[in-house]
Structure 1
Amino acid sequence: MHDLKAIRDNPEAFDRALARRGMEPASAGILALDQERRAAQTALNDMQARRNDVSRRIGEIRKAGGSAEAEASEVAALKARMAEVEEQARRVGEDLDARLMSLPNTLDDTVPDGPDETANVEVRRWGTPRTFDFPVLDHVDLGGRLGGMDFEAAARLSGARFVVLRGQVARLERALAQFMLDLHTTEHGYTETWTPALVREPALLGTGQLPKFAEDLFKLEQGYYLIPTAEVTLTNLVAGQIVGASTLPLRMTGLTQCFRAEAGAAGRDTRGMIRQHQFEKVEMVSIVAPEESEAELERMTACAEAVLQRLELPYRVMALCSGDIGFGARRTYDLEVWLPAQNTYREISSCSNTGDFQARRMNARFKVEGEKGTRFVHTLNGSGLAVGRCLVAVLENGQNADGSVTVPAVLRPYMGGLERIGG
């Protein structure tokens, strides 16, 4: 959600911000609705004041024993007209809110301009991709040989874009999730938080998945949606709340199942676990004071990087350009892990600063003790990491010529000391 006062004060700047995302100017339409709503509210206030005056006059007339038929008729007419104007103001207000809710966040000045992912800027790399002296297998073939990855069984149960994991491969996925949670909670200062996988519409409106991305969500009966990410639930824990400034920053992490229809990804990554309808992800969310959000983005990104470093997986950090950045983000870093079978880096985490964009939609604020009024918090979210994609990276980067996979040292305590799977 955008600050309406800021649009009134500088509509040209608002339109320039939209233009960076390839969008047409919108300030004129927004301000026209704003003016109509404000005019209706002014009219309501004037009619309310007139009705109060006439009502007092009626009381005076009747107290004096006179007839107040004309005045009573005016009050009735005012009441009817007020109902009409009130309904008009409500409709205009809903139109205005819908217009504002449909527009993406304003980008930070440091975000590079560009039409799509080809204009993203590499910030740094870590690790050196391994050189193999045998034919490299992708995770689908590896998982099949290990007897731990069954896409056919999943298709019989649920259709395409699902997988059944078994044995040591299933245990490896569990180990990855446990390792990530332990790292974030014991070393990175995040509080482990378990949340529902079902939410109602206001939660998705608050974090920006609705209304724009409705087709990517799984909607159930009774008004529930399956969450596409724990960003929704963790961030909405402060929705409608006023938190004390002394409690900030709030840092939360959680492991959840995530569900995405992938409506916009038809035909992409149909093989394997890269893009599925159901997957696990460890999410990080921070709620901070505005002046701390940029530093928090760097911190959060480093926390996600630490997972890959401990797993000894080569990766690179990309600053997303204006044409590739998400709807709710003002600034984003993507972490891309090296996948030998694809001979390229693939996204495994996005860490974003949304500024006060989500907070305005959720009405999430903080108050400094001794100060008047409240301010909107800033919210940040990041994958720490996508567990399934991390499993893919561990299998492909750790594969050996005999078909076995070396378990990263940090995962061995979670695997009962096992150093290799298969072979």
Structure 2
Amino acid sequence: MHDIRAIRENPEAFDAALARRQEAPAASDLLAVDAERRAKIQAAEEAQAEQNRASKQVGAAKAKGDEAEFERLRALVASKKAEVTAMQAEAKDLDVKLTDMLARIANLPAADVPDGADETDNVEVNRWGEPRVFDFAPKEHFEIDGVARAMDFEMAAKLSGSRFVVLKGAVARLHRALAQFMIDTHVETNGLTEMQTPVLVRDEAMYGTDKLPKFGDDSYQTTNGWWLIPTSEVTLTYSVAGDILDAAQLPIRMTAHTLCFRSEAGSAGKDTAGMLRQHQFEKVEMVSITHPDESDAEQKRMLRCAEALLEALGIPYRTVVLCTGDMGFGARRTYDIEAWLPGQDAYREISSVSTTGDFQARRMNARFRPEGGGKPEFVHTLNGSGLAVGRCLIAVLENGQQQDGSVRLPDALAPYLGGRTMLSPEGQLV
């Protein structure tokens, strides 16, 4: 959510920032509604003052026995009361309209975010590991012999339709091991607090984390009104909604492993093969609630937490900072980590780490009390994948595949797999 006061003070800067996102100027329309709303509020206050003055005079007129003046003043009080009620209702409607307009405008990019139109303009900032040179043509994850029989898309289609998968046996265990490895690392090494949160949330939680009203079609809503979370960013971030925290409590660092649900409304025909893009998937999420002065440093810390997971698994990756035309709606700055997938001969996103500044905090009224006292200020919120479990499974399988259809697994997962480090061509852990 944007601060209308900041837009009043510098509408040109606001529109210039939107232009960097390739968005149309909005300050003029916003300020017109804002001016009308403020005028109604002022007029209502003036009418209220007149009503109050007339109310005081009613008793005096009655005491004097001036019946005509008494009736005139009574009529004036009634008229002003109706006028105040009407103008307050109009002001409230305008306030709702203004809030809705503001809620549909994307966050403004940080000054250091590169300008650009789409993903081709993203800027690489880091690269780790050398993609393995195969002496055979590497396959995609679902084509590997040791995987194919344990990754059942036909059964999933019978159960739920397209963009679902049933994992079986050793591959299901490997998927679970990856999630456990991620959570344990975040808790024991990165100092995050593990959370177990609901996957069903109310409108307020989706709105407060900028998923509503603009992107309702991208999520699933139950018949009784709850929303299935697109990621636990929603629950972890909204956990501080309405709070006034002490500065000493910051930063708050959380992680959760949850099911996630996305309708993929805007991705028809995209990544339909395999389990790269699913309606239901699992993700380990990181969320930080910070002091505004610390949010940029916190984003870099979170980025390293995610990168280090891939390094521990031996997965080559590259990190890019997204340009203004490729950033998500709520982000002020986003880094994407892209894992190397030899089956696709490409780097593909496996994590996004974003700072939203106070964009989400304003929507959910999350504040902190400065150490030296003074008026509460909005916190900054950050979120990042640490990591997408299914995509990480794909990366492990494709990078570790052998010509005979087996898969060499990362040593970091051995403690979660009973010490075993191979997936046989028959789909067994050995």
TM-score range, shorter chain: over 0.9
Which residue does the alignment assign to 1:255?
257
Which residue does the alignment assign to 2:15?
15
* Distance in 2 separating the partners of 1:146 and 1:28: 57
What SS does the corresponding residue of 2:84 show, helix, strand or coil? helix
Letter paired with 1:3: D
Aligned residues: 423
**Percent of aligned positions that are identical:** 57
| Offset at residue 224 of structure 1 (A) | 0.7
Which residue does the alignment assign to 2:40?
40
| Offset at residue 400 of structure 1 (A) | 1.1
Q: 1:133-162 CA distances to partner (integer Å, 9 max, x unpaired)?
A: 123121111277553110000000000000
* Distance in 1 separating the partners of 2:148 and 2:4: 57
| Offset at residue 81 of structure 1 (A) | 1.3
Write out aligned runs for 1:23-422 (5 A).
23-67=23-67, 68-142=70-144, 145=147, 147-422=149-424
Which residue does the alignment assign to 1:6?
6
Letter paired with 2:32: A
| Offset at residue 402 of structure 1 (A) | 1.6
Q: 1:316-346 CA distances to partner (integer Å, 9 max, x unpaired)?
A: 0001001101110111100000000000100
* Unaligned segments of structure 2, at least 5 residues: 426-430
* Distance in 2 separating the partners of 1:183 and 1:281: 14
CA contact (8 A) 1:143 1:169 kept: no
* Distance in 2 separating the partners of 1:300 and 1:422: 35
What SS does the corresponding residue of 2:348 show, helix, strand or coil? strand
CA contact (8 A) 1:144 1:150 kept: no
What SS does the corresponding residue of 2:224 show, helix, strand or coil? helix
Q: 1:348-369 CA distances to partner (integer Å, 9 max, x unpaired)?
A: 0000010011111111100024
| Offset at residue 293 of structure 1 (A) | 0.5
Bigger Cα displacement from structure 2, 54-63 vs 121-130: 54-63
CA contact (8 A) 1:217 1:261 kept: yes
CA contact (8 A) 1:284 1:381 kept: yes
What SS does the corresponding residue of 1:152 show, helix, strand or coil? helix
What SS does the corresponding residue of 1:401 show, helix, strand or coil? coil
* Distance in 1 separating the partners of 2:90 and 2:349: 47
* Distance in 1 separating the partners of 2:145 and 2:165: 11
* Distance in 1 separating the partners of 2:131 and 2:319: 15
* Distance in 1 separating the partners of 2:205 and 2:145: 37
| Offset at residue 87 of structure 1 (A) | 1.4
Letter paired with 1:109: A
Bigger Cα displacement from structure 2, 115-124 vs 198-207: 198-207
* Distance in 2 separating the partners of 1:378 and 1:242: 13
CA contact (8 A) 1:146 1:422 kept: no
CA contact (8 A) 2:320 2:337 kept: yes
What SS does the corresponding residue of 1:264 show, helix, strand or coil? coil
What SS does the corresponding residue of 1:402 show, helix, strand or coil? coil
CA contact (8 A) 2:146 2:405 kept: no
CA contact (8 A) 2:146 2:407 kept: no
| Offset at residue 176 of structure 1 (A) | 0.3
| TM-score after normalising by structure 2 | 0.97
What root-mean-square deviation, in Å, do the aligned CA atoms of Structure 1 and Structure 2 show? 1.1
* Distance in 2 separating the partners of 1:419 and 1:310: 14
